[in-house]
Chains A and B, each alone.
Chain A
Amino acid sequence: MTTTDPATRTSEPAATPPSGGPTGMAWVRENLFPDVWNSLLTLTLGPLLAWGVYALGRFLFVTGRWEIITVNLTTLMVGRFPRDQLFRLWIAIAILAVVIGLALGVANSVARAAAVESGDDYHRPWHEPIRRFGPPVTLLIVMGVFVRTATPLLLLAAALGLAAVAYRLGRMIPIRRRGQVNLVVILGVIGAQLAITGFDGVPRSVWGGLLLTIYFTVGALLFAFPLGVAVALGRRSSLPVVRGTCMVYIEFFRGMPLVVLLFTGWLVLPFFLPPQFPTPDIVTRAMVILVLFTSAYVAEIVRGGLQGLPRGQREAAQALGLSPWKQTRLIILPQALRSVIPALVGQAISLFKDTTLVLAVGLTELLQVARIIPGQEDFRGQGLFAETLIFVSLIYWVGSYWMSRESQRLEAKLGVGER
């Protein structure tokens, strides 16, 4: 059945073998004007779209006053971060470039091994890298337009170079050592934060812009993931009390809007700590709320994965005489987590977009910077909000679109949808 059951095709002209599809006028007729109804649609939608493209293009290239971005690019990236301490940031970026490159390299060799095992031929079309890396490269080019000196570009190129070297290195690491690589990645993330805050560094309270946005996204994910997995296991526990408590936890945090939670964390959380206890700073409070909020969603996703596993897996593990904890850790969790990776990436995207809400508690993340800078002395009263907001929209869009595309790729590769 495998070769005789492909998707039902639309008509193809006879040839040996039949050619790909119609070209030129035939294509236009078939795809734009096949019948009266579609011709009408094309004729109404076409001019509208053309006008939209014209209006947007005109704003982007003619009327938009983009010098506000040029002047404030650093502020958009890091907020009030002291400019003489920026070197710490570059060190952190270098560390992260290395560990991320390493991790991707290992992941790639694992994927290759899996492909070899299952007998798929693992070849890529030549244009795949262009499609894959188009969005981030576009963003880098746009950034390049607004940069005033070449230094950041050179440093960024150096970081990318480091990442590439680490990637090569990662691919050479034997697969059985990938556990140690995970450890190196975690150490790298901690090291990157230490490089900024440690050694008389810059406290998180003056971080801002994209730096804060990324910090919240990555930080909240790192903490929310284990918490979420624990709650998910509790939700599937055979003990009614544990199950009920975890259900209340999940439903509560999923039923609440994040802004309300953030305001609660900001205004009310200190009341719940003993009076002699020092009040945690705003960044910590916001992080705690983001972690609790995200963990409930992670729990729900992981629960779905656990539920989707065939019963036989648990039963086979029991039949082997594994203890309940080992059944979960060695057999159940790895499979469940693998099947929900795309959904978890979706949650990461969601979190990335949700970090905008921390401006509720007075933090100047990316969006807040965009809101503030049109009020600077040089630009006050000129209403340059469209420029700044469109610029940050592009950053959010690239981040989130790219992640979702990568997750679709992953989903296709894991074949999650087919089970």
Chain B
Amino acid sequence: MTESTLTGKSMDAGGTGETMIELTGVEKWFGDFQALKGIDLVVGKKETVVVCGPSGSGKSTLIRCINRLEVHNRGRIVVDGTELSDDVRDIQAIRRETGMVFQSFNLFPHLTILENITLAPRQVRRKPKKEAEQTAMDLLTRVKIPDQANKFPGQLSGGQQQRAAIARALAMEPKVMLFDEPTSALDPEMIKEVLDTMEQLADSGMTMVCVTHEMGFARAVADRVVFMADGAIVEVNDPETLFTSPQEQRTQLFLSQILVHPS
């Protein structure tokens, strides 16, 4: 695959064809180490993009830059028409519109599940309490744990916690959902329940960027799969093509490594 077709594939908005997230020439340095080497990527509205690659390839850094948990050093990041800058107002605007789900859940341990979910809608979106709680219960029903609402995170299983975390992110009614290895910290039997929730979410038309190693999920749900290595995008394609006939050697090597031991 040549340079130009790669750029074409990664800059082609999927989904409805309208642009939701646009990254151009994004670079990120940790001291002398360059974690992102000029990333160009466009994510379209209602599109699901899966980012995969070996550990240390910069995929987590990439999506953490989108809502500014990491500050990119160069390049442009535009989310729903707002460009990320040093302006606090822009940062908060983008964070309000993007939900994020973490590998280690990061639920607030001192608050109940319901309080976890209603905190941001009430404090940030200024929603009335009743309405916020109603939304929260609806979301908990959607992720199939309505009876856990008044428990504390420590009392839930990992899978339940992660689904609560998804509900918490959805409660802000975001336009984009970012998933940072949401199933990596889970026991095998719990992975499926989280993936089902995510699949259901993608079907409902949410724009999603997922860092994950779950190839089954990528095949079933993703519109495009982005393969990264060493801080750069190596290959972008629809899942079927990328998994069955990868063009790049790095991709082939990576796929052979993870497909030998299907998990």
Contact = CB atoms under 8 A, between A and B. Distances in A.
Contacts of B32: 17
A17 B74 contact: no
Contact of A12 (B60, B71, B103): B71
A1 interface: yes
Contacts of B59: 4
Nearest to B27: A14
B31 A17 contact: yes
Given A3-B30, A17-B31, A17-B34, A9 B55 contact: no
Among B33, B34, B58, B71, chain A packs the most CB atoms within 10 A around the CB of B71
A151 interface: no
Contacts of A2: 55-56
Nearest to A13: B73
B73 A5 contact: no
A4 B71 contact: no
Interface residues of B, number: 23
A17 B60 contact: no
Interface string A1-40: 1111110111111111110000000000000000000000
Interface in B55-78: 55-56, 58-61, 64, 69-71, 73-74
Contacts of B31: 17
Interface in B29-87: 29-35, 55-56, 58-61, 64, 69-71, 73-74, 86
B71 A11 contact: yes
Contacts of B61: 4
B86 A4 contact: no
A11 B70 contact: no
Nearest to B86: A11
Given A3-B30, A3-B33, A14 B56 contact: no
A14 B33 contact: no
A372 B203 CA distance: 85
A18 B29 contact: yes
Interface string B87-104: 000000000000000010
A4 B70 CA distance: 10
A13 B27 CA distance: 12
Contacts of B64: 4
Given A3-B33, A17-B32, A9 B56 contact: no
A1 B73 contact: no
Contacts of A11: 71, 86
Given A11-B86, A17-B31, A5 B71 contact: no
A326 B108 CA distance: 43
A1 B69 contact: no
A249 B70 CA distance: 52
A5 B63 CA distance: 12
Contacts of B27: 14
A8 B35 contact: no
Contact of A18 (B55, B56, B60, B73): B73
A9 B35 CA distance: 14
B55 A5 contact: no
Contact of B35 (A4, A10, A16): A4
B182 to A, nearest CB: 13
A360 to B, nearest CB: 45
A386 B255 CA distance: 75
Interface in A308-323: none
B86 A5 contact: no
B202 to A, nearest CB: 24
Given A8-B69, A9-B71, A18-B73, A1 B55 contact: yes
A12 B27 CA distance: 12
Interface string B7-31: 0000000000000000000010111
Contact of A5 (B29, B34, B60, B74): B60
B59 to A, nearest CB: 7
10 contacts: A1-B60, A4-B56, A4-B59, A4-B64, A8-B69, A9-B30, A11-B86, A14-B73, A17-B31, A17-B32
Interface of A: 1-6, 8-18
When A and B form their complex, which 9 residue pairs have the shortest distance between CB atoms, in order from nearest? A14-B74, A4-B60, A4-B61, A14-B73, A17-B29, A3-B56, A18-B73, A6-B30, A18-B29
